[in-house]
Structure 1
Amino acid sequence: MAAKKMIRGAWASLRNPGLPNNYLGLRPSVLPTSNRYFSATSVSQMEHHEVIIIGAGLAGLAAARKLTARGKNVKILEGLDRIGGRVYTTQFADTRVEQGATFIIGACPANPVFRVAQELGIFKGEEDLRIFKWHVGKYLKPRGEVISQASVDKALEIFEELEKDLKGWYESGDSLKDEPVNLFDFYTKEVQDEIQRFPQDIQDDIMRVLECKLSFTSFGMGDSWYNISANMYGKKQELEGGWTRVPPGVNTIVQHLVNQLPPGTIMTGNTVHRVFWSNRGTKLETTGGDYTCDWLIITIPLGALKVNHSYMFLPDLPTWKSEAIDKIGWGKVNKLFMEWDDPWWAQGEAQIRLTYTLEEIQERTRQEWGKYIFGFEPVIENPRVLVAWVSEKGAEYVEIMDPDALKWQAAKLVKMFTGKSTPLPSKALPTQWCLNDYFEGGYSYCSVKTANDSAYMLSKPLPNKTNPRLMFAGEATDTRFYGTLHGAFMSGEREADRLLQVTKMISKKSAM
């Protein structure tokens, strides 16, 4: 990864030879007020739009839907050759799989993504919901030993109390006054004494389930529990209704939004390389040519912003904006889909949890990337397919491994926990989010470096609220629902509302 980013840095300096990082010699704090600073190319020769949106994920589509409905001239520039961003429904082993977002988190009317699904008639009643229940499943120790349901229930009860304590700590305001502490240290301190209340013979089982639940929580953030902030854990809010799958695929929601846009609104395969911004408008250099716009909404995933912002924007972003980009955590996540011709699990028992001791987790290596897998989930439409969720370094490992090595390691993992030899999967599909230049990972979370106002600072427009020429959307900019589909959707609508309000005020002044 380090070498990859060094190459990017070299490419950034070569892409525009003679163009210094401080934007044609101007101090970053000085905003150009005339289009003459943009380039030697005549502005009249460039394609102009009132609003340009970078990114055709949920945030960009939600913003475009609201703006075009109000008569705005909008163009979406998408670097990929597909629409949807981190929503990516594809085919594997003759069935539909979600390589990206899988769940609507909060199956209730307060969730705008759920409302779109209802518009499509996907959820007519509770019987249509496919609620994901993480705690349900068989918890295995090596050699096929099953942890008793009583021990599982005790462990999950402890973890639930731990989460309540974390949320209460944040809501009281005390966590923001205390020294930063990571989730692992908080967990270790709180759990050790609690475990001693139970008989010695079940303490190991309870700890294994707790470690498994903590691994699932880490997957929800995409990073190690050593980097996740305990102080900020309670900041993220969750809507009621549970986590539900979308039976026809999450891409149906994306396509529904696309269908509501004027034809030609979206241009795919057009990567934005540089953004020249001023207090009068913006110019963009892209693989498809140069564009100008009055207003720009940026929905680039935080991971890509972290890598690219230092040479993408001219003038440079203000220090407070760069610090927000740096401080917010960005998780590494992937999935591994596998098909077995002869399933080794019993019908109806494909929800399997793999439990480890803390020592085993801390000893994980690239050769043992399978230890980053904490369980298997069924792919409901195909009884021969399982999906494993992988995070942290393991998420990067699965992207660079040979497919046969992935199959071999999966079979080794199954044997380790069932005590039985199983054939290799006939097919394996690892998702590719970490090494993809357009994403650099999965989703945002509060790291030990994150400040309480980091997401808010990331969302603030430039140069200011009354003249928002550069606006920022995407799930990482939402202060309550980051890391979710509805967080992304709501952020896009937020920036559309911001722009509509500003342009309305401008129109009123012009009419006076």
Structure 2
Amino acid sequence: MYPRILIIGAGAAGVAAATKLIEKGYKNLTILEAENRIGGRIHTIPYAANVVDLGAQWCHGEVNNVVYNLGSKFNVFDANSARYENFVLTKSDGTQIPLEQSDKLMGLMWSILETHKNELSQYRGSLGSFVMEKFRASLETPEYADINHDTAFQFLEFFHKFENSIEASDSWFDTSGPGYLDYWECEGENLLNWRDKGYTTILEILMKRYPFSASNSPINLEEYTHFNKVVSNICWNAGPDGTVSVRCADNTIYDADHVICTLSLGVLKERYETLFTPTLPAIKKNAIHGLTIGTVDKLFLEFETPFWPDGWKGLSLLWNKNDLEDIRASKNSWMEDVFGFYVVDYQPNVLCGWISGKNARRMERANEDDVRKTCMFLLRKFLKSMTIPEPVSFKRSKWYSNSNFRGSYTFRSMTTDLLNVSAEHLALPLSNACGVPVVQFAGEATHDHYYSTVHGAIETGWREANRLIHIYQRRCQMFLKNICYCSKSRKDLLKI
């Protein structure tokens, strides 16, 4: 008899765990999904000429990347044409930093982050403090004598926002210096897009639906999934037999032998005190407190036709001091942290703006039409040489406002260092009196080195599925061994 397995969340980790279990014959399985769709923070939607990804967008790297390994078999990837580190840096008065200077400043930043890793690993402070020290020291050298103070400061503020969007931090002074190195980059192309298909392709591959083929045996995961099910309590000492009882907000109750919880760290932070009965052990609470999740949002603008010239890839925004003071005094001061607008591959008429941190959360609370108008204000202010029409449509992400996510992805913060916690602590299962795991944890936040990524999330889903598979394989082997032993003993008795 196969165990009753309950998976909370149908994002990348949940889908990976479910498909792995189903492939191995574990079909006594139920998925509880709070949204009305499969995907979690993978959310591909139709928009303009093709699709856009409101959440996960790129496959980051090729070597030791399970997403690349799965997708490359079907030739679904293309290198992103827009390189976010190479855009023309444009000031709020419409002028541009000379390319030679912008390349030199950007090269300095990458050099600080790449060539001082040994020193950073021993640093006892924030990533921001480390970078600022190195940046200021470098500017005092003759090599950077041609760059004035104002330009350097404006660039530093831009790069700060750019780096925040990579980490999902509110500030690089929140990001741990040595913790920054916990993330492992996969070698190879770091910005692989999905052409005109979107990141949902990886879910279709996991469910054996892509590419469509009569020889495939697709997994109809919807048959296992109960949608719009917000979990309100996980009782993990529900009975003497060690079963788990899960209650949803609509008062439906599901009993299981094992639960794989893939809730985002943002949801765990908000609800862990009431979500688990009995209360979580201290090591798990500390992990939830110490690991950090931030907000990164996108702002999509569709135009009837491109107003930009051929070959133009976008712009990065640098604020002059007086302009910055003016917008900080405005009602939409959150616009300060929109750090750029860039073209979208396979979307000829679309620009995507990026914003992160506390101002991203403020943007989410603003009226949608105000956000659209503010984006247009920014484009017209920085691109004074172009005639910019009104967009024909606008779409934004709101990852923090959604109570089923409460954030975009995780990073290692100064609090992580202070509490001395790791993803390994968050991944530890809750076990019954016999030491059998009854509640397991998966999701990008539980990966030691590939946190914040889909490939990390998938690996953790497989990890927890394999944990159960190995438990029951051992039980089956012991059962068969006992049968053989009993049969042998009976034959010996008959000889007497």
TM-score range, shorter chain: 0.7 to 0.9
Residue in 2 that maps onto 1:227: 174
Residue in 2 that maps onto 1:244: 192
Q: CA 1:154 to 1:359, structure 2 compared with 1: closer, same or farther past 3 Å?
A: farther
Q: Which moved more, 1:194-203 or 1:219-228?
A: 194-203
Q: CA 1:188 to 1:170, structure 2 compared with 1: closer, same or farther past 3 Å?
A: closer
- 2:422 pairs with 1:454: yes
Residue type matched to 1:457 in 2? H
Q: CA deviation at 1:266?
A: 2.0
Q: CA deviation at 1:131?
A: 6.0
Q: From 44, 57, 61, give the equivalent of 1:106.
A: 61
Residue type matched to 2:9 in 1? G
In 1, the alpha carbon distance for the partners of 2:200 and 2:178 equals 35
Q: From 359, 383, 397, give the equivalent of 2:348.
A: 383
Q: CA deviation at 1:92?
A: 2.3
Kindly provide the CA deviation profile for residues 469-489 of structure 1, in whole angstroms up to 9, marking residues without a partner as x: 111000000000100110101
Q: From 32, 40, 47, give the equivalent of 1:77.
A: 32
- Cα RMSD (Å): 2.4
In 2, the alpha carbon distance for the partners of 1:49 and 1:437 equals 31
In 2, the alpha carbon distance for the partners of 1:328 and 1:122 equals 33
Give the TM-score of the pair, scaled to structure 2: 0.85
Residue type matched to 1:129 in 2? A
Contact 1:324–1:458 (CA under 8 A) maintained in structure 2: yes
In 2, the alpha carbon distance for the partners of 1:348 and 1:200 equals 29
Q: CA deviation at 1:270?
A: 1.9
In 2, the alpha carbon distance for the partners of 1:306 and 1:131 equals 37
In 2, the alpha carbon distance for the partners of 1:281 and 1:364 equals 54
In 2, the alpha carbon distance for the partners of 1:397 and 1:383 equals 29
In 2, the alpha carbon distance for the partners of 1:351 and 1:90 equals 22
Residue in 2 that maps onto 1:333: 296
Contact 1:233–1:446 (CA under 8 A) maintained in structure 2: yes
Q: CA 1:170 to 1:502, structure 2 compared with 1: closer, same or farther past 3 Å?
A: farther
Contact 1:95–1:382 (CA under 8 A) maintained in structure 2: yes
Sequence identity of aligned pairs in percent?
29
Q: CA 1:356 to 1:196, structure 2 compared with 1: closer, same or farther past 3 Å?
A: farther
Q: The residue matched to 1:320 in structure 2 has which SS?
A: helix
Q: From 410, 422, 438, give the equivalent of 2:404.
A: 438
Contact 2:37–2:227 (CA under 8 A) maintained in structure 1: yes
Residue in 2 that maps onto 1:318: 281
Contact 1:227–1:448 (CA under 8 A) maintained in structure 2: yes
Q: CA deviation at 1:493?
A: 0.8
Residue in 1 that maps onto 2:97: 147
In 2, the alpha carbon distance for the partners of 1:262 and 1:416 equals 50
Residue in 2 that maps onto 1:425: 391
- 2:253 pairs with 1:290: yes
Q: Which moved more, 1:392-401 or 1:323-332?
A: 392-401
- 2:334 pairs with 1:369: yes
Could you list the runs of 5+ residues in structure 1 that have no partner in the other structure?
1-47
In 1, the alpha carbon distance for the partners of 2:464 and 2:395 equals 36
Q: CA deviation at 1:364?
A: 4.6
- 2:439 pairs with 1:470: yes
Q: CA 1:262 to 1:429, structure 2 compared with 1: closer, same or farther past 3 Å?
A: closer
Contact 1:166–1:233 (CA under 8 A) maintained in structure 2: no
Contact 2:235–2:278 (CA under 8 A) maintained in structure 1: yes
Residue in 2 that maps onto 1:217: 163
- 2:376 pairs with 1:406: no
Q: CA 1:455 to 1:201, structure 2 compared with 1: closer, same or farther past 3 Å?
A: closer
Q: CA 1:360 to 1:302, structure 2 compared with 1: closer, same or farther past 3 Å?
A: farther
Higher-Rg structure is 2
Q: CA deviation at 1:314?
A: 0.5
Give the TM-score of the pair, scaled to structure 1: 0.83
Contact 1:132–1:244 (CA under 8 A) maintained in structure 2: no
Q: Size of the alignment, in residue pairs?
A: 454
Contact 1:142–1:419 (CA under 8 A) maintained in structure 2: no
In 1, the alpha carbon distance for the partners of 2:74 and 2:376 equals 40
Q: Which moved more, 1:113-122 or 1:357-366?
A: 357-366
Q: CA 1:56 to 1:310, structure 2 compared with 1: closer, same or farther past 3 Å?
A: same
Residue type matched to 1:447 in 2? S
Residue in 2 that maps onto 1:196: 140
- 2:266 pairs with 1:303: yes
Q: The residue matched to 2:300 in structure 1 has which SS?
A: strand
Q: The residue matched to 1:275 in structure 2 has which SS?
A: strand
In 2, the alpha carbon distance for the partners of 1:152 and 1:370 equals 23
